[in-house]
Structure 1
Amino acid sequence: MNRLLQIEFQKIWKNKASRILTIAYFVILSFIALIASIKFKIGNFELQIAEQGIFNFPYIWHFNTYIAAILKFFLAIVIVSMMANEYSYGTLKQNLIDGFSKKEFIQSKFITVLVFALASTVFVFIMSLILGLSFSSYNEIDIIFSDLEYILAYFLKLTAFFSFCLFLGILVKRSAFAIGFLFVWNIIEGIIIGFLKWEVYVNSNDYQYFTQFLPLESMSNLIKEPFTRLSVIKNIEETIGGAANSKDYGVHWYSMLIVICWIVIFMLMSYKILKKRDL
């Protein structure tokens, strides 16, 4: 395993574009901390974002993982390029000549996906812990380490998304087309969701029973938007006479199970394609 991982990261690090994107990803992730310094001043009214509770435990686990997940496209490009370069530079064929089996090759790619997801998860966990200890109004141990299921959900979300990108890289062979297909698929899911919502299940949320099984939608369901949980948003809704927010923000076992199934499907499909393809 160590040998496979070492070979993969040598390929990534020696590629200038992949190296820059990987470094940029973790640098930009750290910019979440800068949210604490953002202030809005309107006349005599001054609002500091950090004072609105976004860095309070345990809410910070939800907020930071949601924001960090938006940046996953940086590493998605690295994953897709990693696979596309295998075809472009002929390293895939050379690895097989050198004694790699196709199964080992897929394993090495999946291990790389897991390492990227794990590194990002650990980074977000440490950063969130530091920000929370610095700004949170609640520092009791049981509160600090509650809602940590968002960290697990974040890891699964990244692993599934990167596995999907790896599958597309193997399927399409060209990074630009693979990224393009990813955006097209996102649009397709949006059309499916819109059709079910507005044409089949009008004035009902029953469409979500079916859409939760779509790959990108299932990943999205792991960590729902956290903004409407903020007290300032709730106060605004109450002021304008809005209905009480009954949205479910939790991380559920069945949502994680669906995503895990997609991870397995993506990796099996990747192996099947590679196994049948004449290299």
Structure 2
Amino acid sequence: MLRLLTIEFHKLKYNKASKILSIIYFGLLTSIALIAAIKFEFGSFKIHLADAGIFNFPYIWHFNTYIASILKFFLLLVIVSMMSNEYSYKTLKQNLIDGLSKKEFILSKFYAVIAFAAVSTVFVFIVSLVLGLIYSDYNEFAIIVSDLEYLVAFFIKLVGFFSFGLFLGILVKRSAFAVGAMFVWLIIESIFKGFLYWQFQGSDNSGDKVDSIMQFLPLEAMANLIKEPFSRLGAVRSAANTMGEIFTKSYSVDFLNVLIVSFWTFIFIFLSYKLLLKRDL
């Protein structure tokens, strides 16, 4: 494993675009801290986001992993460019000539995916922990370590998403087309979701029926791992209660979603390997 990872990071070391994108990505993750400085003023109404509870433990684990997951597209570009460069610079063929098997080649890419996801998770953990220790109203150890499953969900989400990107990179061989294919798939899932709503319109619990089907599609499953955290805020709930709205939404990490994303991750890596086996290099 270490040998294969070394090969991958040696390639990335000399890829200027990948280094710039990685720096931008981790820079943006760090910039989550800037949210603490944001203040809104509407006449006599003033709100300071840091005082609104977004950095309170354990809510911060949910909030930061959700925000950080939005930025994953920067690392997706690194993943797909890794594959396009293999074809552009003929390094894939050279690796195979030098004795690397196709299985080892795919594993080296998958290990790189896991490494990127793991480093991102640790980075978000450190940023969140520091922000929480500075701004949180609750600093008891038991509260700090609760809801850490959002970090696990974040890691699984990144591995699944990057594995999808890796598969598309092998499939179309060009990074721009691979990213485009990802957005096309997103549009397809969105159209299919709209079709389901049309099919179930007028029936009882139509939204639940649509969700029960959509949860098995890859991007929807990844999105379901970390649900939006904003309606979980006390201020939002209080405002909703004054208008007669009651939130019954579950924000927990569903084990079924973890299994679905893990299954799709396996499928993407397996298909990548099979595609490489059949392809004439």
Q: Judge same fold: TM > 0.5, yes or no.
A: yes
Within 5 A, what are the aligned runs for 1:142-221?
Answer: 142-200=142-200, 202=202, 203-204=205-206, 205-221=208-224
Which one is further off, 31-40 or 232-241?
232-241
CA distance in 2: counterparts of 1:200 and 1:43, whole angstroms: 45
Within 5 A, what are the aligned runs for 1:64-79?
Answer: 64-79=64-79
Q: Map Cα deviations across residues 83-127 of structure 1 (whole Å, 9 max, x no partner).
A: 011001100000000000000000000000000000000000111
Counterpart AA for 1:222: L
- Structure 2 unmatched ranges of 5 or more: none
Q: Specify the alignment match of 1:112 in structure 2.
A: 112
Q: Specify the alignment match of 1:274 in structure 2.
A: 276
Counterpart AA for 1:12: L
Specify which of 234, 238, 242 is matched with residue 237 of structure 2. 234
SS at match of 1:146: coil
Shift of 1:201: 5.2
CA distance in 2: counterparts of 1:45 and 1:258, whole angstroms: 44
Specify which of 259, 262, 265 is matched with residue 261 of structure 2. 259
1:60, 1:132 within 8 Å by CA — same for their partners in 2? yes
SS at match of 2:209: coil
RMSD (CA atoms):
1.0
Q: Specify the alignment match of 2:5 in structure 1.
A: 5
SS at match of 2:50: helix
- 1:26 and 2:26 are equivalent in the alignment: yes
CA distance in 2: counterparts of 1:256 and 1:98, whole angstroms: 38
SS at match of 1:40: strand
Q: Map Cα deviations across residues 152-200 of structure 1 (whole Å, 9 max, x no partner).
A: 0000000000000000000010111111000000000001111112322
- Structure 1 unmatched ranges of 5 or more: none
1:25, 1:71 within 8 Å by CA — same for their partners in 2? yes
Which one is further off, 102-111 or 139-148?
139-148
1:58, 1:145 within 8 Å by CA — same for their partners in 2? yes
Q: Structure 1 vs Structure 2: percent identity of aligned residues?
A: 63
Shift of 1:208: 1.1
Within 5 A, what are the aligned runs for 1:1-150?
Answer: 1-150=1-150
Q: Specify the alignment match of 1:249 in structure 2.
A: 251
SS at match of 1:46: strand
CA distance in 2: counterparts of 1:42 and 1:277, whole angstroms: 61
**Number of positions where the alignment pairs a residue of Structure 1 with one of Structure 2:** 278
SS at match of 1:207: helix
Shift of 1:4: 1.3
1:133, 1:139 within 8 Å by CA — same for their partners in 2? yes
CA distance in 2: counterparts of 1:201 and 1:89, whole angstroms: 52
1:201, 1:207 within 8 Å by CA — same for their partners in 2? no
